[in-house]
Amino acid sequence: MMKATVYHGTRDVRLETVPDPSLREATDAIVRVTRAAICGSDLWFYRGVVEREPGERTGHEFVGIVEEIGSAVRTLRPGDAVIAPFAISDGTCAYCRRGLQTSCEHGTFWGDDANGGQAEFVRVPFADGTLAVMHEGMRENDDTLADAATLCDVMATGHHGATTAGAGNGGPVVVIGDGAVGLCAVLSAARVHRAERVIAVGHNAERLKIAAEFGADDCLDSHDPQTLERLLELTGGGAPSIVEAVGNEESFNLAIAAAAPGGTVTYVGVPHNVKTPDLRSIFLKNLNLRGGLAPARAYIETLMAACVAGQIHPGRVFDSRIPLARVAEGYAAMDERRAIKVLLNPGA
Overall residue count recorded for the chain in this entry: 348
In order, the DSSP letters of 305-335 are: HHHHTTS--GGGG--EEEEGGGHHHHHHHHH
- Which pLDDT score, from 0 to 100, does residue 271 have? 82
Q: pLDDT of 241-254, one tens digit each?
A: 999 999 889 999 99
> Do 71 and 191 lie in a common domain?
no
Q: Which domain holds residue 304?
A: 2-153+296-345
> Do 253 and 334 lie in a common domain?
no
Can you give the CATH number for the domain in which 266 is found?
Answer: 3.40.50.720
> Do 144 and 161 lie in a common domain?
no
Number of domains in the chain: 2
- Which pLDDT score, from 0 to 100, does residue 313 have? 97
Say whether pLDDT at 273 is over 80: no
Give, as one character, the DSSP assignment of residue 27: T
Residue 205 three-state SS: helix
Say whether pLDDT at 276 is over 90: no
- Which pLDDT score, from 0 to 100, does residue 277 have? 83
Residue 132 to residue 266: CA distance in whole angstroms:
26
Predicted structure pTM score: 0.96
Residue 192 to residue 162: CA distance in whole angstroms:
9
- Which pLDDT score, from 0 to 100, does residue 343 have? 98
Residue 266 to residue 6: CA distance in whole angstroms:
33
> Do 52 and 75 lie in a common domain?
yes
Last residue of some domain: 254, 271, 291? 291
Identify the band that residue 237 occupies on the pLDDT scale cut at 50, 70 and 90: very high
Say whether pLDDT at 50 is over 90: no
Say whether pLDDT at 12 is over 80: yes
> Do 273 and 233 lie in a common domain?
yes
Can you give the CATH number for the domain in which 320 is found?
Answer: 3.90.180.10
Q: pLDDT of 300-332, one tens digit each?
A: 999 999 999 999 999 999 999 999 999 999 999
Identify the band that residue 348 occupies on the pLDDT scale cut at 50, 70 and 90: confident
Say whether pLDDT at 262 is over 90: yes
Average pLDDT, the chain: 95
- Which pLDDT score, from 0 to 100, does residue 154 have? 98
> Do 18 and 145 lie in a common domain?
yes
Say whether pLDDT at 69 is over 90: yes
- Which pLDDT score, from 0 to 100, does residue 115 have? 87
- Which pLDDT score, from 0 to 100, does residue 159 have? 98
Q: pLDDT of 148-206, one tens digit each?
A: 999 999 999 999 999 999 999 999 999 999 999 999 999 999 999 999 999 999 999 99
Q: Which amino acid, one-letter code, is at 110? A: W
